[in-house]
Amino acid sequence: SQQGEEDPQALSIQEGENATMNCSYKTSINNLQWYRQNSGRGLVHLILIRSNEREKHSGRLRVTLDTSKKSSSLLITASRAADTASYFCAPMTTDSWGKLQFGAGTQVVVTP
């Protein structure tokens, strides 16, 4: 596995707005996963996108993957106060499915 770098480090938006965060990585991947961590809790798996996919949706989440740029984005549409959390990406290489290495994450604050 390798560590992804999330950008921006922090994001503050109003309820109803969209939130977009990006993830960059360095070497070829098998898939890329996004996780959410609410304050003081464990991580929750949000979505997995495989290297042969360009876009994936799950509810209000939309993830894109551009392997040529080695980057991914996570879009949360119509954000809610409950979306306040830190978001982490985890690029996975073919040689080690399980090991996750996390960057600093994007801390999202959604204000009612």
45 binds another protein (CB under 8 A): yes
HSE-CB at 82 with a 13 A cutoff on CA atoms is 2
* Cβ burial, residue 48 (10 Å; 0-12/13-18/19+): middle
Given 49, 71, 83, 105, the residue binding another protein (CB under 8 A): 105
33 binds another protein (CB under 8 A): yes
The CB-of-96 to another protein minimum distance in angstroms stands at 9
54 binds another protein (CB under 8 A): no
Q: Which residues bind another protein (CB under 8 A)?
A: 33, 35, 40-45, 48, 88, 97-105
